[in-house]
Structure 1
Amino acid sequence: MANDKPYIVPSGWRLLLQDAGIDSANVLRRASLPEDLLSRDRACLSRDEYFRLWQGIEDEGSDPALPLRIAAGMSVEAFDPPVFAAFCSPNLNIALARLAKYKRLTCGKVLTVEVTDNATTIGAEWLDKSAQPPATLVLTELVFVVQLGRIATRERICPLEVRSPILPGKANDFTEFFGVSVRRGDVPQVRFSSADASRPFLTANESMWTFFEKELNKRLADLTESATTRDKVHAVLLELLPAGGASMDAVAKKLGVSSRTLHRRLKEEHLTFQKVLDDTREALAMHYLKSSPISGAEISFLLGYEDPNSFVRAFSGWTGTTPERARREMALVH
């Protein structure tokens, strides 16, 4: 059975919040979460609970520069094994590659790392785009990537570029921290020079990494094994839909099985490929309509439709209304 609470909150977060001047008890009350949550060894949350936790942190902190306060109190001990393993890396290139590999053990997010001769870029995308993460969460993760490099090298590494779908308040404070202004981008992204990305980590520890690697790989294998076929298809569709290649054959190829096997496994879960595809498209459509100004034609393209009219007909079938009417109604509610 798939884990419906894949978001892990390390117990070290309580001290991290305390150092940032945040009352964790108030945060948990704001988020309607158990009062002992941050005392647990590895608290597991659903996506909605995780986002509520971060919204509670944002509301309790009541400071647009809160991510910078959190960064100031960062230490290796505050994090879980995947992040600790990153600190054990020889340099930032390898640290980011390890984070990308093991991120889904603690969060429903995909990290991508691109290394060229001149730069290293790390970007992030939520697997489930049906809800918008709190601004403080998005910005804290950008700050974290830079702070990781600074703590590990004991150097003031400054990225070449920082992009975010949510621009920070107190922009000057973030510019001073990063060394560059945060620019708007479709996904959170940080780009480092090749020199900084290959700068030696003073926290490098190969024997400690060897100790962690076996356990992390086991967790990763267990996670893959426990995921339902629907979850696996949904995750692949999120990747393939914008490219227009979300056929059953393409998904099966990505999963390393035949279309016939994929059909059989979905049938065992009382599902069809079309049902998972429709559910994924509907969730994405509602997300785009609620959180972005892009047109219906652009949304239809991102959902893999060749014709915008096909998207409108499908959306009406799912919801009983048109995309634009749904957008107006959601705007009135929010």
Structure 2
Amino acid sequence: MSGSKIDTPGTDLSLREEALQPTTIGSYTVAIGRALDASGVDSKRIFTAIGIPLDVATDPMTRQPASTMTRLYRACVEVTNNPYFGLTVAKHIHLTHLHALGYSLAASGTLMDFCRRLERYFRLVSQVAKVNLTQVDGQVMMRFDHLVELSSETEDAFFGFLIRTMRLLYKQEFKPLRVEFCRSMPHEGAGPYETLFRVPVLFNQTSSLLVFDQADMVQALSGSCPELAQVNDNIVISYLARLDKSDVITGVTQKIIEFLPDGDCTRDKVASALHMSPTKLQLKLSQRGTHFQQLLDDTRKELACSYLRQASRPVTEITFLLGFSDTSNFTRAFKRWTGLSPTDFRQQP
């Protein structure tokens, strides 16, 4: 094993090209290092050969390019001679590796809330795929559309991590209805996948997919803490604004959250905070198929639902946190968004 040849940082990509690639949160490599060590391989030697720092920061702004992760996984499979190395990594990924998003996920009220957070904020974890959540005929489908070519181990590790985490938050008997991978099945067979997921697994599909029974997804989780989830959601949004400096929607959303409690959240004020004119802001938003009032409504609605799940917050406080002048205006807006009054929403099971 010590004599295995390992790919070193290559000349196939210039530093400039690598810097423009989609990235993954750097703390993810901590789990890979632990999986290597558990397999009897010196992770420091492998990381040094690939060019990954040994003291990976927990700051989510510390990122690794997609090509670096591919080279790292290729080396890991080679030195461990384990075609299921990604499934091994899944055992070592912890929610804290996802920074604030991990704490939000752990505090989710239901698995549906958990999945919606992943859909909204997955870019903090990785920019290599986009998550889409749909519900059809009593089933919840979580699809990962790949934006770049991924290593097979990336798919294995993240799906394994998700199912293990869902079991931890909900119940150990939990299992999906169906699992689909873009990757091809290892020559050694699908046995380890079926052992982990406890359902048949399809390979060579057009996208990665997890399918769940909707009844499981709406059960209350014992670790639910709406206040903690909301605080960390806001932290995630602030990091995404830094990560996606060119993403005007993320930037506007962050400023809306910041300005709402002051009762002075206008398009002009947000545009000024983003160092652009109101006209330029309107143009950028229209190019993304939206406008300021739509983002204001969407953000208020999402915050309102989150705040109302926090039993300790009175409706009067929520009213002013969302920038409304009085509770009657908030109630009318909330009924327009959800079809329910704030009180009726709170009384839902």
The TM-score normalised by the length of structure 2 is 0.58
Q: Structure 1 residue 119: deviation in Å?
A: 1.0
Q: Which amino acid aligns with 1:17?
A: A
Distance 1:63-1:77 versus aligned 2 partners, 3 A rule: same
Separation of aligned partners in 1, 2:38 and 2:135: 33
Aligned to 1:205: 225
Residue type matched to 1:53 in 2? L
1:106 aligns with 2:125: yes
Tell me which residue corresponds to 2:179: 162
Q: Of 34, 38, 59, which residue of structure 1 is paired with 2:56?
A: 38
1: distance between equivalents of 2:219 and 2:190?
A: 28
Provide the secondary structure at the position in 2 that maps to 1:144.
helix
User: Separation in 2 of the partners of 1:47 and 1:27?
Assistant: 17
Alignment of 1:74-89 (within 5 A): 74-89=93-108
Distance in 2, matches of 1:16 and 1:156, equals: 26
* Counterparts of 1:105 and 1:40, CA distance in 2: 13
Q: How far is 1:90 from its partner?
A: 1.1
Shift of 1:126: 2.6
Instruction: Confirm or deny: 8 A CA contact 1:29 1:35 kept in the other structure.
Output: yes
Within the candidate set 12, 17, 23, 2:35 is matched to: 17
State how 1:232-251 maps to structure 2 within 5 Å.
none
State the partner residue of 1:262.
none
SS of the aligned residue for 1:120 comes to: strand
Deviation at 1:209, TM superposition (A): 0.9
Q: 1:133 to 1:20 in 2, by over 3 A?
A: farther
Q: Given that residues 96 and 102 in structure 2 are in contact (C-alpha distance below 8 angstroms), is that contact kept between their aligned partners in structure 1? A: no
- Per the alignment, residue 123 of structure 1 pairs with 143
SS at match of 1:111: strand
Counterpart in the other structure of 1:218: 238
- What are the Cα deviations for residues 214-248 of structure 1, in whole angstroms up to 9, with x where unaligned? 111222334443359xxxxxxxxxxxxxxxxxxxx
Q: Which runs of 4+ in 1 moved over 4 A?
A: 39-42, 251-254
Aligned amino acid, residue 64 of structure 1: P
Cα offset, 1:139, TM superposition: 1.5
**Partner-residue secondary structure (3-state), 1:124:** strand
Counterpart secondary structure, 2:202 = strand
Q: Is the 8 A contact 1:119 1:197 kept in 2?
A: no
Deviations 1:64-120 (A, max 9, x none): 222332333444334322233112111111111101111112311211111235111
Provide closer, same or farther for how the CA distance between residues 202 and 18 of structure 1 changes in structure 2, counting only shifts above 3 A: farther
The separation in 2 between residues aligned to 1:187 and 1:257, in whole angstroms, is 27
Distance 1:189 1:201 in 2: 23
Residue 56 of structure 2: SS of its match in structure 1? helix
CA shift, 1:35, in A, is 4.0
2:202 to 169, 183, 187: 183
SS of the equivalent of 1:53 reads helix
Residue 328 of structure 1 is matched in structure 2 by none
Distance 1:201 1:28, change over 3 A: same
Is this contact kept in 1: 2:31–2:92, CA < 8 A? no
For 1:209 and 1:252, how far apart are their aligned partners in 2? Answer: 28
Structure number with the higher helix fraction is 1
Counterpart residue identity of residue 162, structure 2 = V
Q: Where does residue 146 of structure 1 map in the other structure?
A: 163
| Percent of matched pairs sharing the same residue | 16
Pair 50,214 (structure 1): closer, same or farther in 2 beyond 3 Å: same
SS at match of 2:121: helix
In 1, the alpha carbon distance for the partners of 2:80 and 2:225 equals 35
Q: Identify the residue that residue 272 of structure 2 maps to in structure 1.
A: none
**Aligned counterparts of 2:179 and 2:287: Cα–Cα separation in 1:** 31
1:254 Cα deviation (Å)? 5.4
Q: Is the 8 A contact 2:141 2:212 kept in 1?
A: yes
Q: Is the 8 A contact 2:31 2:89 kept in 1?
A: no
- Aligned residue among 41, 59, 67 for 1:48: 67
Amino acid at match of 1:147: R
Residues 269-327 of structure 1, C-alpha deviations (whole Å, 9 max, x = no match): xxxxxxxxxxxxxxxxxxxxxxxxxxxxxxxxxxxxxxxxxxxxxxxxxxxxxxxxxxx
TM superposition shift of 1:176 = 1.7
- Take 2:42 and 2:242, find their aligned partners in 1: how far apart are those partners? 35
Aligned partner letter, 1:192: F
Q: Tell me whether 52-61 or 175-184 shows the greater mean CA deviation.
A: 52-61
Q: Does 1:63 align with 2:101?
A: no
Alignment match, 1:277: none
Partner SS state of residue 38, structure 1: coil
Counterpart-to-counterpart distance in 1, 2:37 and 2:106: 21
Aligned residue for 1:209, secondary structure, equals: helix
